[in-house]
Amino acid sequence: VKYLYNYLSIVYSLKLIAALFIISIIAGNCALMKSHKVSESPSPVHMEVSYYPNGQQEYTAEYLNGKLDGISQHWSEGGSLISESEYNNGKLHGIWIKYYTNKKIMYEVQYFHGQKHGKEKWYYENGQIKSEQSFYYGNPSDTIIRWYPNGSIIY
């Protein structure tokens, strides 16, 4: 029961993080958003770019036919990369990485057409792995492994 509770808690947290990330990119600061087409000719491809009031780039997102398609990146107001993700036809497809302010990886997961597929890893701020679990088309395919910050296995 403890493991099920821990698993459900992690799944809920990850869904919440993903939703907040997507909302923050979409909502952004519309008054400060600057967009431009990659090509001047009529094209279904364009890139959206947003800036903070201090002029620092906030995010870039590639679109194809009005849907996220390609690499999206999000930076802090100080210029540190917060996250980067890959999309295909509006769905997460490829790797999504979130970073700590010290530029070390906090979280990384593989997606396949909107579903987790492959390894999902969380890291401590010191770079040591925190947890790892595999997914197969959106479903956990093995048990989660957790580590203490010193590298020894919890379970």
Residue 154 covered by a domain: no
Please name the helix (run of DSSP H) or strand (run of DSSP E) that holds residue 16, with its range, or none: helix 2-27
Residue 69 covered by a domain: yes
What does the pLDDT read at residue 52?
Answer: 96
What does the pLDDT read at residue 45?
Answer: 92
Domain that holds residue 15: 2-146
Residue 11 covered by a domain: yes
Residue 80 covered by a domain: yes
Residue 53 covered by a domain: yes
Q: Which long-range contacts (CB under 8 A, 24 or more apart) does 127-132 make?
A: 131/10
What does the pLDDT read at residue 3?
Answer: 54
Per-residue pLDDT, averaged over 58-69, amounts to 97
Per-residue pLDDT, averaged over 87-96, amounts to 98
Amino acid (one-letter) located at 114: G
Q: What is the pLDDT of residues 6-48, one digit of tens each?
A: 555 565 555 655 554 554 554 454 444 443 334 354 689 999 9
Q: Is the distance from CB of 122 to CB of 130 less than 8 angstroms?
A: yes
CA distance between the termini of the chain: 14
Domain count, the chain: 1
Q: How confident is the model at residue 118 (pLDDT cuts 50, 70, 90)?
A: very high
Per-residue pLDDT, averaged over 44-62, amounts to 96
pTM: predicted TM-score of the whole model, two decimal places: 0.71
